[in-house]
Amino acid sequence: MNRLDWNSLDGAGQRAALARPAQSRADSLRSGVEQIIARVRADGDDALRELSARFDRCTLEAIEVTEEEFRAAEATLAPALKAAIDEAAARIEAFHRAAAPMPVTLDTATGVRVERVLRPVGRVGLYVPAGSAPLPSTALMLGVPARIAGCREVVLCSPARADGGCDEAVLYAARSNGVHKVFKLGGAQAIAAMAYGTASVPKCDKLFGPGNAWVTEAKLQVSADPDGAAIDMPAGPSEVLVIADAAANPAFVAADLLSQAEHGPDSQVILLSPSATMLDAVEAEVLRQCAALPRAEIAEQALAQSRLIAVASLAQAVEVSNRYAPEHLILQVNEARELLDGIESAGSVFLGAWTPESVGDYCSGSNHVLPTYGYARSYSGVSVASYQKQITVQEVSPDGLRAIGPCTATLAAAEQLEAHRRAVTLRLAALEDAA
């Protein structure tokens, strides 16, 4: 693992220490995604079948998952797994309902009422990866808030296996949590299908969900096209930053680092600690635990991009973390909550030794679809609000216009927008004439 001392680095060295793995927006990737999107727009379902055969090595007869497939998936799953999915969904729903935006009505002056009303995004498209591992938890994280928001139609795409079927747990999680249609599609072609529509896949207003570089690039491209679709957030490979003090348990810290490293070879894990002894112990523990992982080869590739960084204090660790803006931030320190007020940029924070990042991935109730690659500086994770439009409403009575009309007219005149001013003064004059 890469060992660094923060305070021995110059500015360039510090920037390099916090650099993510190269996010591939190379010309070849951009061009390849453009070609896929163009092909789907031109040839629709035929393109989807051909691209699925090429990239997912499967032959699709029906692109949409059938009722029979949903029933078979539910019958196939072990009762314990179905119970765990249902249990997780209940906690996710409880938290997301409590955190959902509320309508607002306020009289800002006598006779002046301003409101905020909430309306769901009409049709949303959810993307659930299934490359090296299927992710039914992502179906929960995307489907539950969409259901709470009341979206008219919820569409989900997830890559098919070589046998042409979708992961049974993904299907169960989707169907039991409000998803209306599931399509056996992955990659940039799935994003293109949901953004522009085909004979089988309906055009969606907004797209959600994580994915690989091709999916991310496709989301960015369709969101930049007025004929495409909005997206939840830019996202990249998964990442975690851990702040640990001398009292932390090295085995716990190592397990948290590896839980992200096993996601993929482009994942990144960082440990900040003022204790050299802790850095030594964690490095040894990571190597020991990694050797026993089924996905050790993937984790080892991610660890090549890892950082073990010595800092002068926990306060400096917080400063470095805010600069990095991690997707996941774990505070394995005594009195972890005391550091929370200083955290300015993070997708989700995990406090204390007994709060592994894994609980947030699955069933604590928070959402695991989070901004990565530094976007936590300006974006939030998926929530019910992500699936809603907030529309403001105002209603002004005659007395209300008398109260705020002069203010409006003065500001309009200052901006030299005479029609704006007259829209108010004409009404004020009419009220005066009628008095």
Residue 131, pLDDT > 80, answer no
Q: Span 176-195, mean pLDDT? A: 97
Which numeric CATH code is attached to 27-101+119-232?
Answer: 3.40.50.1980
Give the whole-angstrom CA distance, residue 299 versus residue 257.
10
Residue 16, pLDDT > 70, answer yes
pLDDT of residue 23: 58
Q: What residues does each domain of the chain span?
A: 3-23+236-365, 27-101+119-232, 397-434
pLDDT tens for residues 95-117? 999 999 999 999 999 999 999 99
Strands 206-208 and 230-231: parallel
Q: Span 198-225, mean pLDDT? A: 95
Residue 234, pLDDT > 90, answer no
Residue 296, pLDDT > 90, answer yes
Chain-centre distance for alpha carbon 356: 19
Give the whole-angstrom CA distance, residue 400 versus residue 404.
6
Q: Span 181-208, mean pLDDT? A: 98
pTM (2 d.p.): 0.94
Give the whole-angstrom CA distance, residue 192 versus residue 41.
7
Exposure b/e, 42-54, CB count within 10 A at least 16 = b: eebeebbbebbee
pLDDT band at 370 (very low <50, low <70, confident <90, very high): very high
Residue 288, pLDDT > 80, answer yes
Residue 358, pLDDT > 60, answer yes
Yes or no: say if 398 and 427 are a contact pair by the CB < 8 Å rule: no
Which residues contribute to the annotated binding site?
127, 189, 212, 238, 260, 263, 328, 361, 415, 420
Which residues contribute to the annotated binding site for NAD(+)?
127, 189, 212
Active site residue 180: no
Give the whole-angstrom CA distance, residue 35 versus residue 189.
10
pLDDT tens for residues 24-43? 557 889 999 999 999 999 99
Yes or no: say if 145 and 171 are a contact pair by the CB < 8 Å rule: no
- Decide if 3-23+236-365 and 397-434 have a common fold: no
Residue 205, pLDDT > 70, answer yes
Yes or no: say if 181 and 342 are a contact pair by the CB < 8 Å rule: no
Of the chain, the percentage scoring pLDDT greater than 70 comes to 99
pLDDT of residue 323: 98
pLDDT of residue 130: 87
pLDDT of residue 156: 98
Which residues contribute to the annotated binding site for Zn(2+)?
260, 263, 361, 420
CA-based R_g, the chain, Å: 25
Residue 284, pLDDT > 60, answer yes
Yes or no: say if 160 and 128 are a contact pair by the CB < 8 Å rule: no
Stated length of the chain = 435
Kindly report the average pLDDT of the chain as a whole number: 96
Strands 388-396 and 112-120: antiparallel
pLDDT of residue 212: 86
Give the whole-angstrom CA distance, residue 350 versus residue 360.
8
pLDDT band at 312 (very low <50, low <70, confident <90, very high): very high
Residue 349, pLDDT > 60, answer yes
pLDDT of residue 25: 58
pLDDT tens for residues 261-274? 999 898 999 999 99
pLDDT band at 61 (very low <50, low <70, confident <90, very high): confident
Residue 414, pLDDT > 70, answer yes
Which numeric CATH code is attached to 3-23+236-365?
Answer: 3.40.50.1980
Tokens matching residue 68: 């029979």
Residue 414, Cβ density class (10 Å: 0-12 exposed, 13-18 middle, ≥19 buried):
exposed
pLDDT band at 143 (very low <50, low <70, confident <90, very high): very high
Active site residue 368: no
Tokens matching residue 220: 């960015």
**Any idea which residue has 């975690």 for tokens?**
240
Which residues contribute to the annotated binding site for substrate?
238, 260, 263, 328, 361, 415, 420
pLDDT band at 46 (very low <50, low <70, confident <90, very high): very high
Sheet holding 388-396, edge to edge: 104-109, 112-120, 388-396
Yes or no: say if 232 and 145 are a contact pair by the CB < 8 Å rule: no
Give the whole-angstrom CA distance, residue 251 versus residue 286.
8
Angle at alpha carbon of residue 37, lines to 372 and 191, rounded to 5°: 45
Phi, psi of 247 (to 5 degrees): -90, -5
Yes or no: say if 232 and 322 are a contact pair by the CB < 8 Å rule: no
Three-state SS for 166?
A: coil
Residue 64, pLDDT > 90, answer yes
Fold of 397-434: 1.20.5
Among 217, 327, 357, 368, the active-site one is: 327
Three-state SS for 364?
A: coil
Among 69, 262, 328, 368, the active-site one is: 328
Yes or no: say if 14 and 6 are a contact pair by the CB < 8 Å rule: yes
Residue 132, pLDDT > 80, answer no
Q: Which residue has the higher pLDDT, 211 or 143?
A: 143
Alpha helices in 224-304 (DSSP H): 250-261, 276-290, 296-303
pLDDT band at 15 (very low <50, low <70, confident <90, very high): very high
